[in-house]
Amino acid sequence: MLVVGAFLAALGSLNQTVYGASSFIERYLSAIANDDIATASTTPGVALDAAELEALGLPADVSTAMLRTGVVESGPEDVRIMSDVAHEDGTHTVTASYRLEDAIIESSFDVRPITPLYGVLNRWEFAVSPLAIVDVTAAHNPFFTVGTLTLDARATKTGDELAAFTQVTPYLAIAPAVYEFSYNSVLLEAVPAKLQADAAARVPVTVDAQPTAAFVERVQFKVDGFLAACATQTVLQPAKCPFGIEIDDRVVGDPVWSIVSLPQVTLTPGETSFDMPPTEGVAHISVEVQSLFDGHRFTLEEDRPFTLALSATIQPDEDIAIQLR
């Protein structure tokens, strides 16, 4: 009897501690803090089934790409269980306090019992999945970086959605946790944006990609080359060029164009491309003409101001396509 009583007492103690609802929550939070996302994401009740996804307004193929090691910037530290309230139906509400970077957070988790281990040791699952939904707006560039992972916001899309200049895509993410979103390449960069994803929350984040100095320099090089080519045309109205002149007198020599002042490229995101507003430049023409009034010849020298506007897009091969406007 003493042995049986001791066994039952030990079993009860284990079910209150190691196999208790509070320990279940502590283990989950510790897995996130240790970047053990495989353990955290396979904790009972974390995964969302098709019905739950539909209820949340999410597609069945919602991306789980963020559910991996190396993505979380920081997880919950200094975890303390504040309360563990048992309910008549066997469920528990566990309230935990923890630190996420500089913020002290207190969250409540509802858990319910599932089939006991070996028929005697308590096992639990989340009654409501703690996964967060992160709505990522990848502005002006479909790629973004979160942690050590670079993702393409178009990955689960088809048709016309693939061509959108700004992509909005939901991702499932382990929570609670802090994430850092950014992007950096030769042509585009986005200022890092930190996001606190609370358990079972839906949160937005924008990765705002802007042209780098290298991007602007490449477009400037293309503009300079285009205008230089325009200046080689020995006509009064160079074809497909932003400058030209009409002369009422007789032209008796080949017009010679030169560029006095180049438009300085600036780029800002538009609806479908990176755009340069109408920007002024100055061309110069030198041409021999004969007056129709008195027949005398003279050299016409004249500066011709012009404006140039364009849109620029990055091609799949990283080349830049320019469209004059």
Residue 298: pLDDT band (50, 70, 90) is confident
Cβ neighbours, 10 Å, residue 260? 11
Residue 296: pLDDT band (50, 70, 90) is confident
Please check whether residue 260 is in contact with residue 282, taking contact to mean a CB–CB distance below 8 angstroms: yes
What average pLDDT does the segment 67-80 reach?
Answer: 97
Residue 9: pLDDT band (50, 70, 90) is very low
Lowest mean pLDDT segment, chosen from 16-25, 194-203, 236-245: 16-25
Looking at every residue in the chain, the average pLDDT score rounds to: 92
**If you search the block for the tokens 């089934």, which residue do you land on?**
49
Q: What is the pLDDT of residue 12?
A: 47
The gap from C-alpha 233 to its chain's centroid, in whole angstroms, comes to 45
pLDDT greater than 60 at residue 118: no
Model pTM score: 0.87
Dump pLDDT digits (tens) for 194-238: 999 999 999 999 999 999 999 999 999 999 999 999 999 999 999
Q: Is the peptide bond before 211 cis (omega within 30 degrees of 0)?
A: no
Residue 18: pLDDT band (50, 70, 90) is low
Residue 175: pLDDT band (50, 70, 90) is very high
Please check whether residue 97 is in contact with residue 80, taking contact to mean a CB–CB distance below 8 angstroms: yes
Residue 189: pLDDT band (50, 70, 90) is very high
Domain extents for the chain?
A: 1-211, 213-324
What is the biggest distance separating any 2 CA atoms in the chain, rounded to whole angstroms?
133
Question: What are the start-end ranges of the E strands in 174-273?
Answer: 177-184, 188-197, 202-208, 210-211, 250-251, 256-261, 268-269
Dump pLDDT digits (tens) for 129-171: 999 999 999 999 999 999 999 999 999 888 889 989 999 999 9
What is the rounded CA–CA span in Å between residue 63 and residue 55?
Answer: 16
Phi, psi dihedral angles at 152 (to 5 degrees): -110, 115
Tokens linked to 279: 């920007």
